[in-house]
Structure 1
């Protein structure tokens, strides 16, 4: 798979003002965005955002973005955030969900670490139902289809 790469340095206010050396990879299909970050000598796993997952995250309240962003960063470092739990209905602990309540609303971020040496952000959304804790079926279906896309991408990157 061909990628268009841009190299940049950015200040990371949310990471205690550390400077990060980042590599941004945009794939021509426009559906997967990857950010590879190196902090000092610590290389972290690349983070791939599938479809509108990053846009959806950025539409959430800033406090929720901070929690989900930190959870994804922990996954990139090979760690598990304290709020990350395996998503029910998916085998094993490879698909994780972080739930955050904010101002009476519930937000969820779903990601996977099961393909290669990368983290895939599959879906970020606000839970709509107030009467049931279960994730809505249309969200589960979306997560499953994005998980398949992540698997295909992971297979393709092994061949690069």
Structure 2
């Protein structure tokens, strides 16, 4: 397996000196994936990928994938990556953004930790706006709709 998660889990295993087990759960709707990682006796929060966010991440340069993958893993452990900041326009610190510059381009990953005991990867994209650091309205609208989907999913998992 050559995904960012395989590289990351190998790195985590080397750093922690612990055997690592990963479980990938595919939901019937095909839109939300869950990754539950267990390091030794420490279970971390599940990570849910909404719609095309994982595919978008995997289309990015490997160095960017590594930064975003590590940031999401930090969130799964209940920590905040040093590059993670609250996304402007969303109340509180529950919706976070990680920005990474690579080869003259800017990439962003947006995730939330505000619903239940899980991390939701909402959107991964290359910034194309010509209006400075402002996020394009299309991306904001997409993040808002995916945030609603994450909230609905979190409500549904409480009943399971």
- 2:64 and 2:102 in contact (8 A); partners too: yes
Unaligned runs of 5+ in 1: none
**Cα shift readout 1:117-155 (whole Å, capped 9, x = no counterpart):** 000000000001244110000000000000000000000
Unaligned runs of 5+ in 2: none
Pair 1:13–1:64, CA change in 2 (3 A): farther
Larger % of strand: which? 1
Runs ≥4 in structure 1, deviation > 3 angstroms?
1-19
Q: Which moved more, 1:44-53 or 1:16-25?
A: 16-25
Conserved 8 A contact 1:111-1:123: yes
Aligned length in residues: 160
TM-score by length of 1: 0.89
Q: Is the 8 A contact 1:56 1:125 kept in 2?
A: yes
CA distance in 2: counterparts of 1:116 and 1:97, whole angstroms? 19
Task: Identify if the C-alpha distance between structure 1 residues 15 and 49 changes in structure 2 by more than 3 Å, giving closer, same or farther.
Answer: farther
TM-score by length of 2: 0.89
Is residue 24–residue 36 contact of structure 2 (8 Å, CA) maintained in 1? yes
Task: Give the Cα separation in 2 of the matches to 1:112 and 1:73.
Answer: 13
Cα distance in 2 for residues equivalent to 1:136 and 1:107: 13
1:86-134 CA distance string (max 9 Å, x none) = 0000000000000000000000000000000000000000001244110
> The residue matched to 1:7 in structure 2 has which SS?
helix
What SS does the corresponding residue of 1:23 show, helix, strand or coil?
strand
Q: Cα RMSD between the aligned structures?
A: 5.0
Deviation of the 1:16 alpha carbon: 7.1
Q: Cα distance, 1:84 vs. partner?
A: 0.2
Separation (CA, whole Å) in 2 of partners of 1:81 and 1:58: 20
